[in-house]
Homo-oligomer: A and B are copies of this chain.
Amino acid sequence: MLDTAEHTAMANAIRALAMDAVEKAKSGHPGMPMGTADIATVLFTKFLKFDPANPLWPDRDRFVLSAGHGSMLIYSVLHLLGVEDMTLDDLKNFRQLGSKTAGHPEYGHAEGIETTTGPLGQGLATAVGMALAERILNAEYGDDLVDHYTYVIAGDGCLMEGISHEAIDFAGHLGLSKLVVIFDDNGITIDGHTSVSTSIDHVARFEASGWRAERIDGHDPAAIAAALERAKTSKKPTLIAAKTVIGYGAPTKAGSHAVHGAPLGGTEIEGAREKLGWSYAPFEIPAEVRDAWRLAGLKAGHGRKEWEKRFKALPAETRATFDRRIRGDLPSDLAEKIAAYKAQLVSEKPNLASRKASENALQVLAAAAPELLGGSADLTASNFTKAKSQKPIVPGDFDGRYIYYGIREFGMAAAMNGIALHGGFVPYGGTFLVFTDYCRPAIRLAALMRIRAIYVMTHDSIGLGEDGPTHQPVEHLASLRAIPNLYVFRPGDAVETLEAWEAALGLERNPSLLSLSRQNLPAFRTETSSENKVSLGAYEAAPADGEAEVSLFASGSEVAIAFAAKALLDEAGHPTRVVSVPCFELFEAQSPEYRAETIGTAKVKIGVEAAIRLGWDAIIGSDGLFVGMTSFGASGPADKLYEHFGITPKAIAAAATKKLGG
């Protein structure tokens, strides 16, 4: 039974904190938390399995505020529930430099913030990944260890964004019944009423995608509770479209976009306090309201103690593995297995496309590391992302390790974020490199959150051939290298591909991207070495015969071209060395001495990459030469394109000779 007066006071505490914090910060979004305070109160005090004393407990329900601009909602609730990590002073420091309470919720700033949100639609899509990870981990460990819900509050913006379609279609297909999305249906966007730009029937839309969907009054606590109860028995994911008034309580601005993204101002706040019957000073929470929230927090945490009992009763090995998986540590014998496979590659010297070398590496890695959770955006047989041991996940059977993400690159990348955030898995997913443009906003969030997601991006240059310029990346390597915290690997043969995988897996707090070729690449790493040379970022792959006149720097499929150019130049009497550059970011992190030694002092420095020059000046200098692309590609057979765009051993040799002679 709901005590209505108590509920109202508890919800008003959120409203007041949101108003006060925005007012103090002189910027922010009061309307959303004021409008959804009733929903959040019911959800957090009656439904959410969440222990304020241990907000990172693995089997907690996940809560995602997809409408991230309403960040004061989650900050208020975490504070009221008694999360130590979120003090009243933190609320008072809302939107100030260095505070936990950033303008949008930032993962890592405080416990209880499950993901960074703000870029609209992505919270919802990330939550789909969390809900999926829960089901897969449940299939492995059973209900006793893994059995929780994922709740989302999403706004009109989230549901207008295209990614919402990818997310809900995917979740509906998989039947993620423990995913519950509450739509804050306040009818307001920044440009005015939502009717200026949409006429959609969201309930019908979600139903078309296989969801259970209903409409409720978002200010009626009983209706909210009843809808959340019904969601728990649904065999489908649930949408609750909750009609709300944005800025509920604000006397003149409620229900209008005036309350969305700016402080209310003193007079309006005074009026709101009166209207809401909230007679307390700014940031003051009366004891009985605080106690009610704390009590709810205590109750919400009961599940954890029972879970811990069950957990302790398990065999030590199961516990150890589960803990390791949740921590994100790799299996202790993984390095050894990689080393053994590397020795095999060194002796076999395969002539393989790096996408194929990646598949071969995955056969070893997937067998050794059960946390690897693969997938592709409908290009499995092109990206070579599926290891033989990986069983596909299908609706109703989550006991697998491979996800058919469908033609949803952005949805895939956002779901991968959710999987990584959930814990227990290291997600990787594939598409063509050119389509990193489609998933870029989610890659950026992974980089901002510093989480380990691995993008397997194949067909990484004009080398893909006839599909033409819409499918040929040219600017993508540069634009991905531009993203802070993201590591871009472009391995040049099978050994480098394995080393790139090893390095990416080892970057526990960073996303990585593997840029892989469609076309075959000869082996050049043919000497046994225990060192992971890719992890140096760049290294001398072939020394000059004598003092080098020319240094060639190349990545990926162009390393072989650089080797061929070296042969031409050596023959012409110009001693030439080849430096392989599989990862700019790791090279940047080396000591100045190593960098200087690797770059060397040859008179002529040439960068070679079937992409634009941008970024290469850091290695070859602004007076260095570059053999690559200066325009979009074209449709034609790959070898013809390399000729046409002048990325050939001859062209390199000619450029070097001209510079040496000049």
Docked complex: A86-133 residues within 8 A CB-CB of B: 95-99, 102-104, 106, 116-120
A227–B381 Cα gap in the complex (Å)? 36
Docked complex: A405-455 residues within 8 A CB-CB of B: 405-408, 410-411, 434-435, 437-438, 440-441, 444-445, 447-448
B-contact bits for A467-490, CB 8 A (1 contact / 0 none): 111110011001101111100000
Quick check: B190 and A636 within 8 Å, CB to CB? no
A200–B236 Cα gap in the complex (Å)? 13
Quick check: B197 and A405 within 8 Å, CB to CB? yes
Quick check: A190 and B381 within 8 Å, CB to CB? yes
The yes or no answer to A165 lying at the interface (CB within 8 A) is yes
The yes or no answer to A238 lying at the interface (CB within 8 A) is no
Q: A160-B169, A197-B173, A199-B173 are in contact. Are A97 and B380 (CB under 8 A)?
A: no
Q: Per a CB cutoff under 8 Å, which of B119, B378, B468 touches A197?
A: B378
Binding-face segment, A176-184, A363-371, A612-620, A652-660:
A612-620
The yes or no answer to A332 lying at the interface (CB within 8 A) is no
Q: A162-B162, A440-B437, A478-B478 are in contact. Are A378 and B208 (CB under 8 A)?
A: no
The yes or no answer to A286 lying at the interface (CB within 8 A) is no
Quick check: B378 and A481 within 8 Å, CB to CB? no
Majority SS at the chain A contact face: loop
The yes or no answer to A526 lying at the interface (CB within 8 A) is no
Q: Per a CB cutoff under 8 Å, which of B106, B163, B407, B469 touches A157?
A: B407
B-contact bits for A379-410, CB 8 A (1 contact / 0 none): 11110000000001011000000001111101
Binding-face segment, A8-16, A302-310, A626-634:
A626-634
Binding-face segment, A32-40, A352-360, A496-504, A637-645:
A637-645
The yes or no answer to A621 lying at the interface (CB within 8 A) is yes
Q: Which residues of B sit under 8 angstroms from A530, Cβ to Cβ?
A: none
The yes or no answer to A376 lying at the interface (CB within 8 A) is yes
Q: Per a CB cutoff under 8 Å, which of B68, B200, B640 touches A169?
A: B200
Q: For residue A476, give the distance in angstroms from its CB to the closest CB of chain B.
A: 8
Docked complex: A199-215 residues within 8 A CB-CB of B: 199-202, 204-205, 207-210
Q: A156-B407, A478-B614, A482-B475 are in contact. Are A104 and B161 (CB under 8 A)?
A: no
Quick check: A407 and B644 within 8 Å, CB to CB? no
B-contact bits for A580-605, CB 8 A (1 contact / 0 none): 00000000000000000000000000
The yes or no answer to A465 lying at the interface (CB within 8 A) is yes
Q: A204-B207, A205-B208 are in contact. Are A173 and B191 (CB under 8 A)?
A: no
Quick check: B437 and A378 within 8 Å, CB to CB? no
The yes or no answer to A466 lying at the interface (CB within 8 A) is yes
Quick check: A118 and B618 within 8 Å, CB to CB? no
- Protomer copies: 2
Q: Per a CB cutoff under 8 Å, which of B25, B157, B207, B381 touches A466?
A: B25
Quick check: B190 and A200 within 8 Å, CB to CB? no
For A97, A191, A475, A484, which residue has the most chain B Cβ atoms within 10 angstroms?
A: A191
The yes or no answer to A31 lying at the interface (CB within 8 A) is no
A484–B68 Cα gap in the complex (Å)? 34
B-contact bits for A229-268, CB 8 A (1 contact / 0 none): 0000000000000000000000000000000000000000
The yes or no answer to A609 lying at the interface (CB within 8 A) is no
Q: For residue A543, give the distance in angstroms from its CB to the closest CB of chain B.
A: 24
Q: Per a CB cutoff under 8 Å, which of B69, B410, B614 touches A614?
A: B614
The yes or no answer to A297 lying at the interface (CB within 8 A) is no
Quick check: A97 and B637 within 8 Å, CB to CB? yes
The yes or no answer to A70 lying at the interface (CB within 8 A) is no
Quick check: A471 and B161 within 8 Å, CB to CB? no
Quick check: A404 and B197 within 8 Å, CB to CB? yes
A622–B434 Cα gap in the complex (Å)? 28
The yes or no answer to A532 lying at the interface (CB within 8 A) is no
Q: Which residues of B sit under 8 angstroms from A378, Cβ to Cβ?
A: 157, 160, 189-191, 197
Q: For residue A273, give the distance in angstroms from its CB to the closest CB of chain B.
A: 24
Q: Per a CB cutoff under 8 Å, which of B471, B479, B621 touches A482?
A: B479
Q: Per a CB cutoff under 8 Å, which of B96, B103, B117, B437 touches A467?
A: B103
Q: A379-B190, A444-B437 are in contact. Are A411 and B635 (CB under 8 A)?
A: no
- List the interface of chain A (C-beta within 8 A of B): 25, 27-28, 68-69, 95-99, 102-104, 106, 116-120, 156-157, 160-166, 169-170, 172-173, 189-192, 196-202, 204-205, 207-210, 376, 378-382, 392, 394-395, 404-408, 410-411, 434-435, 437-438, 440-441, 444-445, 447-448, 465-471, 474-475, 478-479, 481-485, 612, 614-615, 617-618, 621-623, 630-632, 634-637, 640-641, 644
The 3 closest A-B pairs by CB, nearest first: A162-B162, A97-B636, A197-B406
